[in-house]
Structure 1
Amino acid sequence: MTAAPRLRGAARREYRRLSRAADMPPPTHPLVTLTPGIPVAADDGAELLTDHWHAEGAGGQTLLIRTPYGRGGVAGVARFFAERGHHVVVQSCRGTFGSGGSFSPLHDEVADGQATLRWVRGQSWATDRVHSWGGSYFGVTQWAYCDGEERPDTMGIAISARRFDDAILYPGGGFSIDTPLTWAYALDMQERSLPRRIWALLRARWAIPRGTLATPPGEAVRVAAKADPQFFRDWVDHSDQGDPWWHPLRFASDVDTIPPVTLMAGWQDLFLVGQLADYAALKDADRPVRLIIGDWIHGDPETTVMGVREALAAFADTGKGADVRLEISGGAGWHEFEQWPVPTTTVFREFTADGQLALPEAERPAAALPYRYDPADPTPDAGGRTLNPFAAGRRDQRVREHRDDVLIFTGDPLPEDLVIIGEPGIDLTFASSNPRADLFIRLCEVDLKGRSRTITDVYQRLPAEAAPNESRRIRLSFAPIAHRFAAGSRLRVQVSSGAHPLHLRNPGTADPVRDHSRLIGSDQVVHVGGAAPAALTLPALDTSRAPAVHVPVAR
């Protein structure tokens, strides 16, 4: 047991950000003690190294954090909680930062989490209530608690989901290679020396894109990082929808085992759709759950500030406000609602042969708009919900929209603000010379200067059940948004058959993801007008019924 060491680097910056955030309670126990590297025995004997942060006489709550990214990385958060009278337990997942065993993502989190919870509750300093906290993989370890006899009393889960595979690896039936490759690259470098980490970061901008084009895709990490983690090859090998290999790695399937939980999501975060599915399941089961969604990408530091503030409010039992709190992007601020989905009215736009998004009217002339998809020159993603920090979020669409394999439909300048909240939808008639086709559709905002940026999108690998060039009617729902399209801006929809590497290029064959040795292009057609027009549906909000709320941010 030693006095808490001076914080350095990222931990110090995190602590300062929290200290400067508005509406945080002041420290009550400034003399914090750290007991580092406590070996906690897992059921198989592996020693899981654990830090205990606390202050003399602390009588608050116990906060448990399990992480594969190093205990020092959350030292700023741990110290901040401890200075407010709480016990904080931070543990390195097995096989990481000195903990015994080998790190095999997802596989050991139930057993190791149970062993850790038993240890925490057995300590002389343990408080009556144990809370778990954290986002991303920290959240995965929390969902795993729900599959054992020991559970936290509450959970604070940010940017994570119960079904890891469906949420971020295979949405729409393809393989989102950018996210798992970025993660594997980051894990490979995280315990290297500082000079080697810096070099790996510098080369990541070109190494990761190069890896996404590897053939076969299972070689992607080796090409990008000269590493070959088994978990990545497993994810490539088990990418068929419904593969039973994933069943034991889907946590908290019985929603009745889930304690009260606060879910924090981001409109531009890769876990968004999965988290909203979790929220819906908990609400349907009448489980206590709160939902907070900000205008965040994965890893946004404001999610930590918000998560700490919410946890402290839960400890003090001073949580306020409605069950759903949403930030409406586009500058409309935070609003509270009683439910999700939010009640809205529907706005329609139709696609025209000359590339317009127009108000509905009597039957328009039918037209067939062709484009060709070539997997050897895959349509780029230009932003989106990915872990890759060089590509995530609302990116400029200029390059993508100048390609011949992307159809563009643009509306007139909006006469007034239009707030869309929920899942926009799209109906269209589509045909392909190769039934094994993908559809990737993106909704964008074109600002007053003509810059187009992504707002939301949807990806679907179509079932190979149609004949070549057979037209089929398709309805898709975009990922949810809450966004204000400002007066004078324009709506734009892109229609394409790819967004590589946000979604791994479609080879045009029945070959599994682990192969892709053949690349076959295809000719696509989108039909507009006629008796079955291509149409965009938008859930519009009357903002006068959704008063804004003040949500403090870090200075």
Structure 2
Amino acid sequence: MTPSHPQDVAPRTTWTAPPGRAPLSSRLMRATWRGLPARRYDVGWEPGLVVPAADGSPLITDHYFPRGRGDFPTVMVRSPYGRGLPWSPMYGVLLAEQGFHVILQSCRGTGGSGGAFDLWRNEAADGQATVAWLRDRPWFDGRLGTAGPSYLGYTQWALALDPPPELRAMAVQVGLHDPHALFHPHGAPRLEDTLAIGVGMTYQHRGITPFLRATLRLRRHLPDITRKLPLREAVRPVLGDETPWFDEVLSRPDAADPYWEGASTAAAADRATVPVCLVSGWHDILLDQTVEQYDRLRRAGCDTSLLIGPWTHTSALQRGWPDVFADTLAWLRAHLCDDPSGLRPTRVRVHTGGRDAGWRDLDDWPASPAGEHWFPAPGGRLTAEEPASPGPLASFRHDPADPTPSVGGQLLSPSAGARDNTALEAREDVLTFTGPPLTEPLEILGPVSARLRVSTDTGHADVFARLCDVDAAGRSTNVCDGLVRLDPRREDPSEATVPMSSTAHRFAAGHRVRLQISGGAHPRFARNTGTGEPVLDATALAPVRITLHAPSALILPRAGATGPGGSPADGSAAPYGPDGARE
């Protein structure tokens, strides 16, 4: 077994750094960033190294390194999106100038690497093969970390399923661990983002110009593409025939389908011992997965930290990058260089939204805090009093030929995030229930959900629920939301729980809490055609009438409230013990 501490590593052969500098484009982008730590070392670059994959396919790898004397730890970054912008400056240059060797590798079948790309089946084995290759490098001193966002986070979790002894730290930013949950959250296909992911997989490693052209083409044609039937044929002009996985992932909504076997790497967090730094944003498409990762790691007793900012999936790596990089760098230094001086004083740091927005440090993240119930009532009211008797509250007709549009929220596109919902809420197919003006601020912290009793006239329907903050002028801004696809076999009416993601938000005095309900959010989610046909092959549309019944409830995790068993819901709860219970 290869030793994991540098003092135990066998003497290495002398390594002479090659003369190459980092790519000019990467150096120019680095020069535009502000708020990042000062450079410690000049950066060298060794491009185009060939690393044998598990099956022998060549994995093209670039090596960035600090030009200085002494031993430096290594950070491995594995990507299906190429090795150029923005990954080269963000990871290769920035980490190397702080005193790390960095290997930036194109996953199998992408960016010039050999073999065929697969969404998950090769990453664990190819990560292990890359570590085996590292052991023979004269500059590798036995200290290894990993870093990267999104699918680059998935490659980290795949390696952590059987962590090599050299692995000492992971930095997973807006990261993925369960592909099925990404493409089919709560049973509804995530359409717009799946198309965007397909464009990224196909074009990003070809250079910035082809990628931007493809992205703009998708944005321009998105309304037409997502309304045509059948959907399988409508996407061809954008994706061509180069992403067969698009058909595969959207045609298999059931997580129990054999196609998804081995896709989730959640087990890596369940038994993790390698310290993990997690980063996400309130409007990140992978927020729920990040929160789940944190909860699993805490239950395993693993050293972990969590940073959640006011970001989307992409803005976390743009305007949020100084905070994200600082958190990542401090974590890697603490666990690879035995320098904890830059670590935050608390395990969790979150940005609280609302008029009095700001950062908040917490001892822990509330997994299941007490829920404060708000009840939809006749007349579009939202009250603290549970209705005295059951019965219909309101109904609307959802027509998939004119689907309820998506506005903001968790998306990859620039339209993600908090947006004005006034026009959306004026539609006849959107219900709103609004509380009275608050006499004092209301702060919520944790997972939000809606427990709704609904009935339909056809059985085929989706339910979209959204929490909004309504200011004194009447402007309604989305905070968090969720969508579930109803099971047509259920009893009618029946209770449907809509997980609405997690948040930290402060409703100011004078503002009002609003629950918004509709039958979809298109094209963020593929529309429910109302016929029960498979989403890719449906050729007909059928309207559905959806009725909301009492008692239904919006469940808000009020900060400072007492959770189940008396545990505080403000993040100060004791850590999990080895059996998963709080100590």
TM-score normalised according to structure 2 size: 0.85
Aligned twin of 1:159: 174
Deviations 1:319-347 (Å, cap 9, x if unpaired)? 23222221112243111222221786643
1:215 and 1:258 map into 2 onto residues whose CA distance is 48
Deviations 1:293-350 (Å, cap 9, x if unpaired)? 1111011124543342223223123323222221112243111222221786643322
> 1:213 Cα shift?
2.5
Aligned CA distance change for structure 1 residues 256 and 410 (closer, same or farther; 3 Å): same
> 1:238 Cα shift?
2.0
Deviates more, 1:411-420 or 1:300-309: 300-309
Aligned twin of 1:358: 383
1:511 pairs with 2:530: no
> 1:457 Cα shift?
0.8
> 1:365 Cα shift?
9.2
Instruction: List aligned pairs for 1:150-549, cutoff 5 A.
Output: 150=164, 152-166=167-181, 168-192=182-206, 196-254=210-268, 255-257=270-272, 259-300=274-315, 301-314=318-331, 315=333, 316-318=339-341, 319-330=343-354, 331-341=356-366, 346-360=371-385, 363=388, 367-387=392-412, 389-466=413-490, 470-528=492-550, 533-542=551-560
Query: Is the CA contact 1:260–1:287 (under 8 Å) kept in the aligned structure 2?
Result: yes
Query: Is the CA contact 2:454–2:494 (under 8 Å) kept in the aligned structure 1?
Result: yes
Deviates more, 1:311-320 or 1:263-272: 311-320
Deviations 1:364-407 (Å, cap 9, x if unpaired)? 895531211111211111122122x1332112212321211111
Aligned CA distance change for structure 1 residues 546 and 505 (closer, same or farther; 3 Å): closer
> 1:361 Cα shift?
6.7
Query: Is the CA contact 1:67–1:91 (under 8 Å) kept in the aligned structure 2?
Result: yes
Query: Is the CA contact 1:426–1:476 (under 8 Å) kept in the aligned structure 2?
Result: yes
Query: Is the CA contact 1:158–1:303 (under 8 Å) kept in the aligned structure 2?
Result: no
2:409 and 2:72 map into 1 onto residues whose CA distance is 40
The 3-state SS of whatever aligns with 1:20 is coil
The counterpart of 1:68, out of the listed 63, 80, 95, is 80
Aligned CA distance change for structure 1 residues 474 and 240 (closer, same or farther; 3 Å): closer
Aligned CA distance change for structure 1 residues 136 and 361 (closer, same or farther; 3 Å): closer
1:66 and 1:15 map into 2 onto residues whose CA distance is 24
Deviates more, 1:132-141 or 1:371-380: 371-380
Unaligned runs of 5+ in 1: 549-555
2:452 and 2:266 map into 1 onto residues whose CA distance is 37
Unaligned runs of 5+ in 2: 1-17, 334-338, 562-567, 573-583
Aligned length: 534
Aligned CA distance change for structure 1 residues 220 and 144 (closer, same or farther; 3 Å): farther
> 1:62 Cα shift?
0.9
% identical equivalent positions: 34
The 3-state SS of whatever aligns with 1:53 is strand
The 3-state SS of whatever aligns with 1:249 is coil
> 1:212 Cα shift?
2.3
How big is the alpha-carbon RMSD for the aligned residues of Structure 1 and Structure 2? 2.6
> 1:271 Cα shift?
0.7
Aligned CA distance change for structure 1 residues 253 and 32 (closer, same or farther; 3 Å): same
1:545 and 1:424 map into 2 onto residues whose CA distance is 13
2:387 and 2:225 map into 1 onto residues whose CA distance is 49
Aligned CA distance change for structure 1 residues 147 and 429 (closer, same or farther; 3 Å): closer
1:142 and 1:343 map into 2 onto residues whose CA distance is 27
2:547 and 2:512 map into 1 onto residues whose CA distance is 25
Aligned twin of 2:112: 98
Query: Is the CA contact 2:449–2:501 (under 8 Å) kept in the aligned structure 1?
Result: no
Counterpart residue type for residue 503 of structure 2:
I
Aligned CA distance change for structure 1 residues 103 and 520 (closer, same or farther; 3 Å): same
Query: Is the CA contact 1:181–1:212 (under 8 Å) kept in the aligned structure 2?
Result: no
Aligned CA distance change for structure 1 residues 342 and 240 (closer, same or farther; 3 Å): closer
1:38 pairs with 2:49: yes
Aligned twin of 2:97: 83
Counterpart residue type for residue 290 of structure 1:
S
Query: Is the CA contact 2:366–2:570 (under 8 Å) kept in the aligned structure 1?
Result: no
Counterpart residue type for residue 56 of structure 2:
G
